[in-house]
Amino acid sequence: MILFKLAWRNNWRHRWRSGLTAAAVVFGLSITIWGFCFTEGSHEQIIRNSVESFTGHVQVHRKGFHDDPSLRKVFYPDSQFVPELEGGVPGLANYSFRISTFGLASVGETSFAAMIVGIQPEREQEFIHWDRKIEQGRYLHPGDINGALVGADLAENLGIGIGDTVIIVTQDYYGSLCGALRVVRGTVRSHARELDRGGLLISLASAREMLSMQGMANTAVVMATGSEQVPQLISELDNRLGAGGLEVIGWRRIMPDIVQAVELDNVFGILTNLILLLVIGFTVLNTFLMSVMERIREFGIMRSLGASPGRVVGLIVVEAALLVGLGFVLANIVGIGASVYNSVHPLDFSEMGGDELSKFYGMDPRIYTRLTWQTLVYPNLFVAVVILLALIYPAWRAARISPAEAVSRRH
Amino acid sequence: MGIFIRIAWRNLWRNYSRSLIMIGGIGVGLFGLLVYYGISNGFINQLVEVSIELELGHVQVTRRGYYQHPVQSNSFTPANSLMERIESVHGVRAAAGRLSAAVLVNSAEKSNRVDLVGIDPEREGRVTSIRNMIAQGEYLGPGQDGKIVIGRKLAEHLGVGLGDKLVVMTQDSENELQSRLFRVGGIFETNSPLWEKTAAFITLRSMRKLLGRPLQLTAILVRAEREKSLEPIVAGIDSLVTGEGSALEVFEWKEVSPLLAQSIEMFDFFVWVFYLIIYLAMAFGVVNIMLMVVLDRTRELGVMRAIGTTPGQVMTMVLLEAALLGVAGIIVGGGAAWLLNGYLAANGLDLGRWADGMEFMGLGSVIYPRIEPLEWLVSFLSAEAAVIVSSIWPAWRSAGIEPVRAIQFE
Amino acid sequence: MKSIPAPVFLLCLLAVLISVPVVEAREPDSTLARRIAEHADTLMRGSSNSSTYRMTIVRPEWTRSITMDSWERGKKLSYMEVTDPPRDLGTAYLKRDGQMWTFLPNIERTVKIPPSMMMDSWMGSDLTNDDLLNESSLLDDYGHELVGADTLDGVAAWHVRLIPHEDAPVVWDRIEFWVRQGDFMLMRDEYFDEKGRKVRTMSYEEIKTMDGRRIPTRWVLEPHLKKEGNRTVLEILDVDFDVTIPDRYFTRQHLERSR
């Protein structure tokens, strides 16, 4: 207890220096916490946007479809999928079925390659939120067999608008060339570039009819209750569906480019934070070292009165702990406070050029910070490590002080 | 003044461990800043390189609506000597015409959709830097109408090398399918995987023949003498082409590629924020140390005051000491950054582990950091300024030390 | 893949080869190869025929057959219509002036095949749209060289090599083909890329007499390079050579006529 009193008194004796050091810790740590929350938030947003733009968290296909897609590789949802899910699957929020294939979208003499996707309009609306992606016109009504949604760029290239008829040409399940006429109900501006440039969405019922694929699907899009649940969801689905010849694939495998972009951004985020923390570390090192150097006499006397080197180091450490501890507490209050605030009131980058960028990368220009235990624990750990490093030399120096040195060195 | 510098210099070494710590703090901060800046700048340069240097030039002249609907039928026939007249506009270095179309390129193994660009090799060489991107083979010569220059990724995808055959298929002006054989004359490498996969070049003459558009162009690319201040050039060219029946329009690259313009803006913003944060963190250290310096020397400074040194001179002396420390920090941090940057600029920073992620961001996987001489200077000066500004308060406190109080101290 | 073995082309080529047995089996001389090609080319241009054939697409997991009636005149004009299976009945293709349209009976619409789809599979087979549309000429686009006598599947054959001219819009490095010694019956051709890899093989089997000519009636196209196990078989069920086909057969109106 006496140690604490001593330490506190010494910190107080140099209140400017102590205050500045604590402030530096508060500054560095709170910015790092907020920075981590910001990075995490923007990544969560990129992932959510990508997942919700089209792919879902998890996709289920017939084995082999993912590596070598073919219209022949189908499954029967009513017998192969739905029954296996009975009793509920933990982490599963929603799912729907699709048929996707490639073909031609044609108007007059103009034709373009198109990715034709049959979707279940009501089911997908719940998690893909198609209605938010409609640029013009409206979403597909339930039971709309004749309607189609067309990627905005594709519609522009074809020169068609709402109410116009588009000819779809593709091969059906049996390989026969088939055509279909669909009326454009809306144009889609998602954040998936392939979809905007070549997407042609019709209802699953309509696709099944066109492609002679009654009762079949080639993709199940599954949404987890949260991105954290995805790994368990994949293994659970794999357990239940694997035996039936189905393959379960998570978004990390579906979109490896996004996974890497996020990873890379994390590396840069950590590096920049590290630079900041090193600079802070020098301030802390300076304070500790000075506090040792100017008390060589004092420590010498302590030693000559019988205090062990350990006790001297203990005093230094407790002093530092008091100072830094205060800094940590304040930093976490400030950092968490700012992060929570920005998780409700997002940062809006649309004013300063985030518009096109967000369009390109498929993001909302408003970025919400996201506080998780990682964004809290890692910055605190980083700062603690940096401060411990800064404490090593001063503590070592203090331990080496001998009574003789203290006397010989007059301040 | 000289005496104060000498005193400040000597003072610096009175407590060298303290000085070293401060130098270390400033050095690490500046080192981090410069390395970060170099890499960010490398990212931006990659984007700019592909967009301005290869695709857009500084200013473009196209038929009205071409960029909304970039198809070959949206081409135009330039009036006689339009090129020369554009080049005579003040600030224009060179201009080059292009005729582009979406085509299918086939090898025996595979086929791929490609944006084929017909270029006037000589003029193009003065406007864009495709010529410098050739990694294998050679750039198109004026007579090489049977050659095609493709990107490394496309060559890999199609499974072809130098001298191999490619058949280009496209629709001509009469909507008839045309096939023409080309041989790979050159393979270019850029930092944009996407562009390497989707762009190819042949001579303007063979492109015109292929499309059956003997005089047409889809765009004229203009290179300015200086990248900044493109407005007068746009206006100048605009007044030239209004005479063309106003079927043409003139753009700055920013208008054609707002994404790039905004990426640069965004990167600049983040760099600015990072500088601010690091300088603030440095300021904590500087204030802390300089305050200690002043408190340590309360007695000494008091004596100096007592023998007639003015508060201004005391303050100057403290500021000078900080300034010297700043310079030392800048030499250490800037020097280390200069070495690392120089190494990475020469060898590249290979982020191949994240190649797909880089591609997602429209980038190649090797980054070449770049810092212009002026940017070095600005970084050094701003760091020095940050150090001096941070020591104003401790210096001001030192000026407030009274002679009498000092003698009474202790 | 700019190539030759479209049913259109093959019918013509065969018509030629079979109708030229005048060129007796003599000692192979340097002009023999060229003369084979020459005859092929001339007759191909002038030839017109109507035929019925069946195309069978073989995949590792499934097989399907389509029967078609075809009319063609020269290299520029052709018209094809599916007669079986019922689900494909009435699907038709028109080739004219380097463009291709397809008629879809279920929606009664015509769609033009865009250049970007030229390399896509034709009706799910190993043939591409371009194989059907292609107008390259054996005579104009290739140089010919008689490699020599050879034995193929136990039959004496002449081995002929076609090497594309410098600027011919052909992706192949060369085409090797074999004709039977004695009657010049086409036996096989192989297509090579510039790396020397065999890209595809066409074999000609089951020689029968049709409309007074001996022709192979079964052609098997096999793509190589990662597509092993795939195969497209064309069988000529009936053919009439040198028939008069009205001009209207090769019009959009004919393609779109109500049926």
The answer to whether the CB atoms of A276 and B285 lie below 8 A apart is no
Burial class (CB in 10 A: 0-12, 13-18, 19+), C239: buried
Q: Which two tokens stand for residue A163?
A: 């109410």
Locate all alpha helices (DSSP H) within A212-295, ordered by sequence. Answer: 230-241, 251-254, 256-293
C171, C191, C193, C201, best to mutate vs chain B, most B CBs in 10 Å: C171
What's residue A206's pLDDT?
93
The answer to whether the CB atoms of B111 and C97 lie below 8 A apart is no
The answer to whether the CB atoms of B170 and C169 lie below 8 A apart is no
Are both B339 and B365 inside the same structural domain?
yes
Nearest CB among C98, C169, C173 relative to B180 is that of C169
In a domain, B325, yes or no: yes
What's residue B345's pLDDT?
87
B91-128 pLDDT, tens digit each: 899 999 999 998 999 988 888 889 999 999 989 988 98
The answer to whether the CB atoms of C2 and B113 lie below 8 A apart is no
Q: How many CB pairs under 8 A join B and C?
A: 68
What's residue A407's pLDDT?
66
Chain A residues within an 8 Å CB radius of B33: 275
What average pLDDT does the structure give for chain B?
Answer: 86
In a domain, C97, yes or no: yes
Of the candidates A338, A321, A330, A337, the one whose C-alpha atom is nearest the C-alpha of residue A384 is A321
In a domain, B60, yes or no: no
Alpha-carbon span C157 to C176, nearest angstrom: 12
Nearest CB among C59, C88, C112 relative to A176 is that of C88
Of the candidates C8, A355, A212, the one whose C-alpha atom is nearest the C-alpha of residue B258 is A355
Contact (CB, 8 A) for B199 and B114: yes
Q: Which residues pair with C194 in a beta bridge?
A: none
Domain boundary among B246, B276, B300: B246
What's residue A262's pLDDT?
82
What average pLDDT does the structure give for chain A?
Answer: 86
Using the predicted structure, report yes or no on whether residue A2 has a pLDDT greater than 80. Answer: no
Contact (CB, 8 A) for A145 and A180: no
| Arithmetic mean of pLDDT, A103-132 | 88
What's residue A67's pLDDT?
82
Q: Up-side HSE of residue C175: CA atoms within 13 Å toward CB? A: 26
- Shortest CA gap A28–chain B (Å): 7
Structural domain boundaries enclosing C152? 7-256
- How high is the ipTM of this complex? 0.79
Are both B81 and B199 inside the same structural domain?
yes
A282, A296, A351, A356, best to mutate vs chain B, most B CBs in 10 Å: A282
In a domain, C1, yes or no: no
**Model confidence at C24, in pLDDT bands (50, 70, 90)?**
very low
In a domain, B192, yes or no: yes
How many domains would you assign to chain B?
2
What's residue B45's pLDDT?
80
Q: Up-side HSE of residue C247: CA atoms within 13 Å toward CB? A: 0
What's residue C44's pLDDT?
43
C101, C116, C142, best to mutate vs chain B, most B CBs in 10 Å: C116
Contact (CB, 8 A) for A39 and A45: no
Domain boundary among B183, B211, B246: B246
Structural domain boundaries enclosing B148? 65-246
Residues 6+ apart with CB under 8 A from B179: B167, B168, B169, C2, C136, C169
What's residue A323's pLDDT?
85
The answer to whether the CB atoms of C169 and B171 lie below 8 A apart is no
What's residue C7's pLDDT?
42
| Arithmetic mean of pLDDT, A307-312 | 82
Nearest CB among C59, C109, C124 relative to A171 is that of C124
What's residue C178's pLDDT?
86
What's residue C36's pLDDT?
66
In a domain, B282, yes or no: yes
Of the candidates B20, B263, C127, the one whose C-alpha atom is nearest the C-alpha of residue A293 is B20
Closest residue on chain A to C114 (Cα): A111
pLDDT-wise least confident of A330-344, A352-366, C138-152:
A352-366
pLDDT-wise least confident of A138-142, B38-42, C24-28, C169-173:
C24-28
Domain boundary among B246, B270, B294: B246
In a domain, C60, yes or no: yes
Given CB atoms, is A394 within the 8 Å cutoff of chain B? no
Chain A residues within an 8 Å CB radius of C107: 167, 179-181
Q: Which two tokens stand for residue A90?
A: 């933990």
| Arithmetic mean of pLDDT, A245-255 | 89
| Arithmetic mean of pLDDT, A52-65 | 89
**Model confidence at C11, in pLDDT bands (50, 70, 90)?**
very low
The answer to whether the CB atoms of C98 and B176 lie below 8 A apart is yes
What's residue A109's pLDDT?
79
Nearest CB among C59, C87, C109 relative to A176 is that of C87
Residues 6+ apart with CB under 8 A from B249: B61, B62, B63, B64, B241
Which of residues B176 and B404 earns the better pLDDT score? B176
- How many Cβ atoms are within 10 Å of A87's Cβ, its own excluded? 6
How many domains would you assign to chain C?
1
| Arithmetic mean of pLDDT, A118-124 | 92
| Arithmetic mean of pLDDT, B48-54 | 77
| Arithmetic mean of pLDDT, C182-196 | 84
What's residue B244's pLDDT?
55
C75, C95, C119, C192, best to mutate vs chain B, most B CBs in 10 Å: C119
- State which H helix or E strand residue B14 sits in: none
| Arithmetic mean of pLDDT, A290-310 | 82
C131-168 pLDDT, tens digit each: 877 766 666 788 888 888 888 888 888 888 888 888 88
The answer to whether the CB atoms of C62 and A109 lie below 8 A apart is no
Report in angstroms the alpha-carbon separations of B252 from A153, B96, B229, C72, C92: 23, 15, 10, 53, 49
In a domain, B57, yes or no: no
Chain B residues within an 8 Å CB radius of C115: 103-104, 169-171, 177
Alpha-carbon span C68 to C236, nearest angstrom: 10
Given CB atoms, is A392 within the 8 Å cutoff of chain C? no
| Arithmetic mean of pLDDT, C65-94 | 88
Alpha-carbon span C189 to A253, nearest angstrom: 42
What's residue A197's pLDDT?
85
Using the predicted structure, report yes or no on whether residue C12 has a pLDDT greater than 80. Answer: no
Are both B134 and B265 inside the same structural domain?
no
| Arithmetic mean of pLDDT, C92-106 | 87
What's residue C13's pLDDT?
44
| Arithmetic mean of pLDDT, A253-260 | 82
CATH classification of the domain holding C50: 2.50.20.10
Using the predicted structure, report yes or no on whether residue A406 has a pLDDT greater than 70. Answer: no
